[in-house]
């Protein structure tokens, strides 16, 4: 349920229970259905901690951001940080949760060295928010994953096992993290495969990033995930016995840990055994999970109401204030971008992967003379080149401003489509933005009408049949002539002038 005892993740309690290599057949796997629920902890980007005014800054020297409250000294009283509530409610709204006007804090009691008070302040029977959802894409279409609850809690400190003088013999404690605000987001057991778990986490992270309440930096522990998993014969309603995989630090590892664990559980059931309810750890180097503590050793947290904090009341007015800060969310934005710019859903996904990039794209599109042309260039010229080079859109040498500039140059006839393609190629070769490459290599365009007319005369003379067709009323033949003239000028003739001069010539 909690990440606060994550220090224990480093030492398996029960080393006798070693991982077994599961080798169940595909047929055996197909007989069973996995049931997965995820608990995600997200650190909120407040400047100060949840119950005191200490800084939340990551990377400060150990035990420098501490005070009597977050050190758990006797008599120190917690004071709730209003910003933490704002952020938690905003995240809950973005996840489609119902906000409970009144929620309460509770003490979750357990003993661990990184928890000086001997309890963690969390929320238990009256959480801040409930009944949310995330829609994920699956092979069989969209699937809704329920969110049971979202609640506020404080983080614990951190046990240090390395990086100081006698770390081979002792463990040190850093309490800078003690009291940093977290939200815990608990999903319903609606997730049916490791791939769905991965997709759920990806969407969850994307939504949280859009709200700006967390940086979701997994390396710094701003986003952490525990997974509950069980298997049951397909068609059976009753859940199988679950195990909990704790503290996996990347989405890929969660997927791998779940794959291993499902296979392990199926193997046990197939050989007539019983799955033991326990907490397990994932060793990413070996790709295996190991038993850490069984149910008999599980904590009894003895939750009780926190007597030092009043019930938290987020009334309608406050909720409305927070709601007004809710940005357009990724899913809605994707739908709108598809409609506004006429691009594919796939490209809309790429463009909206981060809020900052989607903002850049839309700002560029709006500033350009023809917004749709910007979208078309991103789709038609940029995406393919990125893919060919194996680059993410954030790594593109051509910025959104560069794309907008190129769109305007084509729009005004200053460069042709062919020149644009060449300039894009050059940008990718040099790793420089379009504007720089354009200034350096400003392609010479032929705008001298007599030079263009000379080419036109040659083309017209060489194609009498097409001239006849045109004059007989088949006006679309002009496309053929434009193509020929552009080709003859190596793409350098000003397309607008070519069009005008050709029309005049053919009409005459």
Shortest Å distance, C-beta 65 to Zn ion: 7
CB 85 within 8 A of CB 152: yes
Token pair for residue 161? 């096992």
Instruction: Say how far residue 268 (Cα) sits from the centre of its chain.
Output: 35
**Smaller CB separation from Zn ion, 69 or 382:** 69
Q: How many whole angstroms separate alpha carbon 474 and alpha carbon 410? A: 27
Of 67-75, 191-199, 265-273, 339-347, the segment contacting Zn ion by CB under 5 A is 67-75
Shortest Å distance, C-beta 178 to Zn ion: 8
For residue 16, the tally of other CB atoms under 10 A from its CB is: 7
CB 134 within 8 A of CB 204: yes
Q: Which member of 40, 70, 183, 350 binds Zn ion (CB under 5 A)?
A: 70
Shortest Å distance, C-beta 182 to Zn ion: 15
**Smaller CB separation from Zn ion, 308 or 500:** 308
**Smaller CB separation from Zn ion, 67 or 195:** 67
**Smaller CB separation from Zn ion, 44 or 70:** 70
DSSP-derived letter for residue 388 is H
**Smaller CB separation from Zn ion, 70 or 258:** 70
Total number of residues that touch Zn ion (CB under 5 A): 5
Shortest Å distance, C-beta 76 to Zn ion: 9
Shortest Å distance, C-beta 66 to Zn ion: 6
Q: How many whole angstroms separate alpha carbon 305 and alpha carbon 359? A: 44
The owner of tokens 């169940």 is 24
**Smaller CB separation from Zn ion, 64 or 297:** 64
Q: How many whole angstroms separate alpha carbon 36 and alpha carbon 39? A: 10
Shortest Å distance, C-beta 220 to Zn ion: 19
Of 26-34, 60-68, 391-399, 438-446, the segment contacting Zn ion by CB under 5 A is 60-68
| Residue span 15-54 as binding mask against Zn ion, x where in contact by CB under 5 A, dash where not | -------------------------------------x-x
Can you list the alpha helix ranges (DSSP code H) found in 153-250?
194-211
Q: How many whole angstroms separate alpha carbon 504 and alpha carbon 244? A: 77
Question: Judged by CB under 5 A, does residue 80 bind Zn ion?
Answer: no
Token pair for residue 199? 């997709």
Residues 6+ apart with CB under 8 A from 368: 374, 404, 407, 408, 411
DSSP-derived letter for residue 379 is I
The owner of tokens 């705008």 is 447
Q: Which member of 1, 9, 67, 172 binds Zn ion (CB under 5 A)?
A: 67
**Smaller CB separation from Zn ion, 36 or 52:** 52
Shortest Å distance, C-beta 156 to Zn ion: 13
**Smaller CB separation from Zn ion, 116 or 127:** 116
Of 59-67, 152-160, 210-218, 246-254, the segment contacting Zn ion by CB under 5 A is 59-67
Q: What Rg, from alpha-carbon coordinates, does the chain have?
A: 31
Residues 6+ apart with CB under 8 A from 27: none
DSSP code per residue over 43-57: E---SB-SSSS-B--
Shortest Å distance, C-beta 55 to Zn ion: 9
DSSP-derived letter for residue 378 is I
**Smaller CB separation from Zn ion, 63 or 249:** 63
Shortest Å distance, C-beta 54 to Zn ion: 3
Q: Which residues bind Zn ion (CB under 5 A)?
A: 52, 54, 67, 69-70
């Amino acid at each position: 349920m909690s990440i606060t005892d994550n220090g224990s993740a480093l030492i398996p309690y029960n080393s006798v229970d070693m991982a077994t290599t599961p080798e169940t057949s595909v047929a055996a796997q197909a007989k069973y259905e996995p049931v997965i629920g995820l608990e995600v902890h997200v650190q909120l980007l407040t400047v100060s901690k949840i119950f005191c005014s200490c800084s939340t800054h990551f990377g400060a020297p150990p035990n420098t951001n501490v005070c009597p409250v977050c050190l758990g000294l006797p008599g120190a009283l917690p004071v709730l940080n209003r910003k933490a509530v704002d952020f938690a409610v905003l995240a809950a709204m973005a996840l489609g949760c119902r906000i409970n006007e009144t929620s309460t804090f509770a003490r979750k009691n357990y003993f661990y060295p990184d928890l000086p008070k001997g309890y963690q302040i969390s929320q238990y029977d009256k959480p801040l928010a409930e009944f949310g959802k995330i829609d994920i894409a699956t092979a069989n279409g969209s699937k809704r994953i329920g969110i049971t609850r979202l609640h506020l809690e404080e983080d614990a400190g951190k046990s240090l096992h390395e990086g100081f003088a006698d770390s081979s013999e002792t463990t040190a404690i850093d309490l800078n993290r003690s009291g940093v605000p977290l939200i815990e987001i608990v999903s319903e057991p609606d997730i049916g495969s490791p791939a769905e778990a991965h997709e759920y986490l990806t969407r969850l992270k994307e939504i949280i990033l859009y709200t700006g309440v967390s940086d979701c930096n997994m390396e710094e522990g701003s986003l952490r995930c525990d997974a509950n998993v069980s298997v049951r014969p397909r068609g059976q309603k009753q859940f199988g016995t679950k195990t909990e995989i704790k503290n996996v630090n990347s989405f890929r590892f969660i997927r791998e840990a779940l794959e291993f664990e499902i296979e392990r559980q199926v193997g046990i059931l197939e050989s007539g055994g019983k799955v033991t309810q326990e907490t397990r750890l994932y060793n990413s180097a070996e790709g295996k999970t190991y038993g850490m503590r069984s149910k008999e050793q599980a904590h009894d947290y003895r939750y009780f109401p926190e007597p030092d904090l009043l019930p938290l009341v987020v009334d309608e007015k406050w909720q409305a204030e927070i709601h007004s800060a809710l940005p357009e969310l990724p899913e809605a934005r994707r739908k709108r971008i598809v409609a506004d710019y006429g691009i594919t859903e796939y490209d809309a996904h790429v463009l909206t992967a981060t809020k900052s990039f989607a903002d850049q794209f839309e700002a560029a599109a709006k500033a350009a003379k023809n917004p749709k042309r910007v979208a078309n260039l991103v789709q038609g010229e940029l995406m393919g080149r990125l893919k060919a080079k194996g680059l993410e859109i954030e790594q593109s040498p051509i910025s959104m401003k560069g794309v907008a500039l190129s769109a305007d140059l084509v729009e005004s006839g200053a460069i042709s489509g062919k020149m644009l393609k060449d300039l894009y190629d050059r940008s990718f070769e040099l790793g420089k933005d379009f504007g720089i490459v354009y200034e350096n290599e400003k392609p010479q365009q032929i705008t001298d009408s007599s030079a263009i007319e000379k080419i036109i005369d040659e083309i017209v003379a060489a194609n009498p049949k097409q001239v006849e067709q045109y004059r007989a009323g088949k006006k679309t033949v002009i496309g053929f002539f434009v193509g020929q003239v552009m080709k003859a000028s190596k793409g350098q003739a000003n397309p607008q002038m070519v069009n005008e001069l050709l029309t005049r010539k053919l009409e005459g």
